[in-house]
Amino acid sequence: MRTFGCFVQKWSLIGSGSIALLSGCSVLPELHPRLPGERAFISYVQPLENNNQIRLAVKDNIDVKGVVTTAGSKRFARRHDPAVKDAACLAIARERNVFIVGKANLSEFAVAPSGFNEYFGTPASPLSNEHKLLPGGSSCGSAVAVACDMADVAFGTDTAGSIRVPAAWCGVVGLKTTHGLVPIDGVVPIEPEHLDTVGPMGKDIAHTVQGMDLLQKGFSGLYDAAVAGNPTARTIRIGRLNLPGTDPKIDQAVDETLDRTGFDVISLHESFVADWEQAKKDGNTIAAAGAWISDKKYLYSPYVSGRTKSAIRAGRIAYLTGYNEAVARQAAWQNRLREILKQVDFIALATVQTPPKRIPPNLDIGILEVQMLNLQNTVAVNFAGNPALAVPIPLHDSEVPLTSLQLIGPPLSEAQLLNAGRLVEAAVKSETARGGAP
């Protein structure tokens, strides 16, 4: 599949303003030369030519020994010492001597779903040659690095959609893992108790499988078994979820892709849509409160942006007025999703409701982030703790050639999700080869 270029929900203040936070985006301006890819990296090491090692990009809220973890923040970049050890999620990569090409850009403290970063710069989505488009966040640098072939695999974090949203808006594959599967020790937190995860991103399914094999020992064997168990799509049942507000062209692209792949597609009842929307509100409330819980000590600190401080203040409101109630509803939502996933193998829907927006002027306020939270169809999955996969699919009659299909599975179904993604990818490539898609 080819990418181009290279490099509110209207609810209360708590549900909207509170969440100007969780997803996000590139190199110390004074300390490093400008890098290709619109600042995809905060620090970067040029690989040797003819190096056959996997090139791994690591989101810069994940500790790499000997490197300052900036978390996308000017304050951290200026005042933090280099990490004394790697984050736990890098253990397998280190055992295999994987080449880490650099620390990927992100929104400050990973709290902006647009991917905007006023200090390090916002890396543009590679899906357009004509306009600078938002990359989605907060793992924006990871997505842009992969899309522009500066890395084979990238690690990102996903609290409310921070892997899947930039994957969708940059035309790559992104996997949100089951909560608790991948250790998060050594990762700058937002809401680790209920939401935070680490996962891989790749330019295609094969590279994303490689990335997952660097995060979970024995994963390649699990994936091979999943492929052997379901070599074709005919026996895979897909529950189709249509959500209000989604661009009709994107919904059409999702439906055409599911049909082309050959899945057994079943429409989900409208009552589930209402349950999903409540889970979205609750997940956003918990994520917002997480910004307050984790970052309140920086509310009055110098070198922290006004955009981030607005998110922290909004998180305080969410924590005081809605956090406990949302947490109390988590088990019921997990049970509801479990019931649906007994009837179907996966749930399918658009990852994001619109194509990427143009990068706006920096007004240092959270309105853009509130709008972004309404556009992403991701946080309800984090609220449940389930894994989910974002796969690029063709989008016709649009400024950009690609959108994204999201597949949600039961806990610990990462291998099965990637196999389903493999089938989608093959169907899309087949259609493209016949000239039926961009």
DSSP states of 295-317 as a string? HGGGTT-TT--HHHHHHHHHHHH
**Can you give the pLDDT at residue 432?**
78
Q: Residue 55's beta-bridge partner residues? A: 99
d(CA 293, CA 284): 14
* Residues known to be catalytic: 59, 138, 162
Q: Is 378 helix (H, G, I), strand (E, B) or coil?
A: coil
**Can you give the pLDDT at residue 51?**
75
**Can you give the pLDDT at residue 430?**
85
Region of 400 (left: φ > 0; alpha: ψ -120 to 50; beta: rest) is: beta
Tell me the whole-structure pTM to 2 decimals: 0.91
**Can you give the pLDDT at residue 13?**
30
Q: Sketch out the chain's domains with CATH numbers.
A: 17-433 (3.90.1300.10)
With a cut of 70, list the residues of the chain below it in pLDDT.
1-38, 363-366, 435-438
- Among residues 23, 284, 45, which one has the least CA distance to residue 141? 23
Region of 340 (left: φ > 0; alpha: ψ -120 to 50; beta: rest) is: alpha
Q: Got the DSSP string for 381-434?
A: HHHHT--EEEEEEE--SSSSSEEEEEEE-STT-HHHHHHHHHHHHHHHHHHHHT
Q: ∠ CA 437-127-108 to the nearest 5 degrees? A: 145
Q: Residue 99's beta-bridge partner residues? A: 55
d(CA 5, CA 125): 8
pLDDT in tens, 249-303: 999 999 999 999 999 999 999 999 999 999 999 999 999 999 999 999 999 999 9
